[in-house]
Amino acid sequence: MNVKSRAHPATHDAQISPRGSLELLSQKEVEQLRLTSDSKLLDLFRRCALAVLNTGSESDDAIAIFETYRDFEIEILQRTRGLKLKISNAPASAFVEGRMVEGIRQHLFAVLRDLVYIGTDIESSDRFDLGTTNGITDAVFHILKQAHVLVPDLKPNLVVCWGGHSINREEYEYTKEVGYHLGLRGLDICTGCGPGAMKGPMKGAAIGHAKQRSVGVRYIGLTEPGIIAAEPPNPMVNHLVVLPDIEKRLEAFVRLGHAVVVFPGGVGTAEEVLYLLGLMLHPANDHQFFPIVFSGPESSRAYFESLDALISLTFGDRARDLYEIVIGDAELAARRVGRRIRKVLSSRLKSGDAYYFNWLIEVPFCFQAPFVVNHRSVASLELHRGLAPHDLACQLRRAFSAIVTGNVKEHGRRMIAAEGPFEIRGEHDLMAALDALLKDFIVQGRMKLPGTVYEPCYQVSG
């Protein structure tokens, strides 16, 4: 291994082999991987690999990250016993005493495993009809199965935690405290795998699990290629899964999880909330039981009040009945979740649904179809209360997805730089409430990491 002499940035070269995944590949399979050297798949792997190796970065600027390490290269080498990865000019922070941090090495091969499976078995085969609801759900199931995160005999115990990557220190400590109390109750954690509210619950749960001497605990991180550079996997994640896009990532959360805790966040968190509420508002899901708790410290009360106000105006009391808000009491939030997960067990026993994958929840195609974000598609969104509640939730979720894209995704930021802000248009009262929420997010520092100046990638009109 060589350490580069340049002062900035410090980099390493290395060759690494898989342990625990990808060892049992035939020579033909390795050759197929190696021959993708000029393909879109390998370029995607290079970008995701750099994001993983850049874990711990204090930047959510994907363009800056790729520019800083523009000399980074990764090559698949064929060996008699499988494969190796040859890495050049990797961030030095991924290494300790000349050796790659073990968690980062595992994440790197998890990314390779998932991208290869998605590229070869999902998107380039006739096995899955990605133009149908059932075909997309089946694809999500098999990606999770391939990643070994589906545990058939385990009773419901997985809590999905959503929240922002740019939360403040008090909010972060609160997420740890809730995670601690969840861990004491034997509950595992699933998040979007990044920093902030995605890391805190896992870190806290690890202490709770350690006190209970729990073994085989799961800290599952779900990501997708468009967001991984801005939200690289945190070191607590011990099961990393890469989904093809945000829509399949969101479906994976709902299919895997048994309850959701929503911590303070920004537009990405609002997008997740709208996705879940939209599903639960669909008439086909009237009999589904899916616990949802919003929780944060007293200082985050304004965040939840703003989000609650938009939900109330848009969907009314029926949507508000789907969740409860617990402010300033981490133990109470965890206790409520634990009790409700016991009801999930009873519900699954009664319905016959699997513990490990919620097959019976209805996910309409509107929530599954990838939304291609561009200026025309954003301006064409239907945002008015004449729509059925679940349809409006789908459209509004897409508006938030567009803002996430413009804020942190590389291709989105390039679009904004070239063509200006996205225009979000709709019913006057709804747009006024949306604009007020987004302004609150800006004032509260929830659009970007602390210390950075936020330039809106959108304009709201109605």
Neighbours of 390 (CB within 10 A): 21
Q: Is the pLDDT of residue 131 over 60?
A: yes
**283 secondary structure, DSSP code:** G
Region 154-172: mean pLDDT is: 94
Q: Is the pLDDT of residue 70 over 80?
A: yes
Does residue 4 fall inside a structural domain?
Answer: no
Predicted pLDDT at 378:
97
Does residue 356 fall inside a structural domain?
Answer: no
Does residue 132 fall inside a structural domain?
Answer: no
Query: In which band, very low, low, confident or very high, does the pLDDT at 7 lie, cut at 50, 70 and 90?
Result: very low
Bridge partner list, 99: 96
Picking from 351, 386, 403, the residue at the C-terminal end of a domain is 351
Same domain, 117 and 147: no
Same domain, 106 and 219: no
Predicted pLDDT at 409:
86
Region 56-84: mean pLDDT is: 76
Same domain, 197 and 141: yes
Same domain, 341 and 212: yes
Mean pLDDT of the chain: 90
Domain membership of residue 237 as a residue range: 137-351
Identify which of 433, 421, 431 has the alpha carbon closest to the alpha carbon of residue 383: 431
Q: Is the pLDDT of residue 64 over 70?
A: yes
Predicted pLDDT at 33:
59
Beta strands 188-191 and 219-223: pairing type?
parallel
Does residue 418 fall inside a structural domain?
Answer: yes
Instruction: Say which range, 52-61, 62-71, 134-143, 177-186, has the weakest mean pLDDT.
Output: 52-61
Predicted pLDDT at 9:
75
Predicted pLDDT at 1:
44
Same domain, 95 and 213: no
Contacts of 350 (CB under 8 A, 6+ apart): none
Same domain, 120 and 222: no
Does residue 374 fall inside a structural domain?
Answer: yes
pLDDT in tens, 399-443: 999 999 999 888 899 999 999 999 999 999 999 999 999 999 998
Q: What is the CATH number of the domain that holds 174?
A: 3.40.50.450
Region 360-371: mean pLDDT is: 96
Please say whether the beta carbons of 191 and 344 come within 8 A. Answer: no
Query: In which band, very low, low, confident or very high, does the pLDDT at 396 lie, cut at 50, 70 and 90?
Result: very high
Q: Is the pLDDT of residue 297 over 60?
A: yes
pLDDT in tens, 267-289: 999 999 999 999 999 999 999 99
Picking from 127, 162, 179, the residue at the C-terminal end of a domain is 127
pLDDT in tens, 209-255: 999 999 999 999 999 998 887 788 999 999 999 999 999 999 999 99
Does residue 358 fall inside a structural domain?
Answer: no
Query: In which band, very low, low, confident or very high, does the pLDDT at 38 lie, cut at 50, 70 and 90?
Result: very low
Does residue 263 fall inside a structural domain?
Answer: yes
Same domain, 304 and 159: yes
Picking from 322, 351, 380, the residue at the C-terminal end of a domain is 351
Alpha-carbon distance 17 to 21, whole Å?
10
Identify which of 281, 275, 215, 213 has the alpha carbon closest to the alpha carbon of residue 245: 275
Query: In which band, very low, low, confident or very high, does the pLDDT at 43 lie, cut at 50, 70 and 90?
Result: confident
Q: What is the CATH number of the domain that holds 15?
A: 3.30.1850.10
Same domain, 69 and 123: yes
How far apart, in Å, are the Cα atoms of 356 and each of 133, 146, 249, 258, 352?
A: 20, 14, 16, 9, 12
Same domain, 117 and 173: no
Query: In which band, very low, low, confident or very high, does the pLDDT at 32 lie, cut at 50, 70 and 90?
Result: low
Region 136-147: mean pLDDT is: 96
Instruction: Say which range, 55-64, 226-235, 320-329, has the weakest mean pLDDT.
Output: 55-64
Query: In which band, very low, low, confident or very high, does the pLDDT at 22 lie, cut at 50, 70 and 90?
Result: low
Provide the domain count of the chain: 3
Alpha-carbon distance 248 to 29, whole Å?
26
Same domain, 33 and 105: yes
Same domain, 120 and 49: yes
Region 384-396: mean pLDDT is: 96
Same domain, 262 and 163: yes
pTM: 0.91
pLDDT in tens, 77-130: 777 666 788 999 998 888 998 899 999 999 998 998 898 888 878 887 888 999
How far apart, in Å, are the Cα atoms of 78 and each of 17, 366, 386, 400?
A: 11, 42, 58, 43
Which sign, positive or negative, has the C-alpha torsion 435, 441, 442, 443? positive
Predicted pLDDT at 230:
77
Q: Which of 12-16, 59-63, 310-314 has the highest mean pLDDT?
A: 310-314
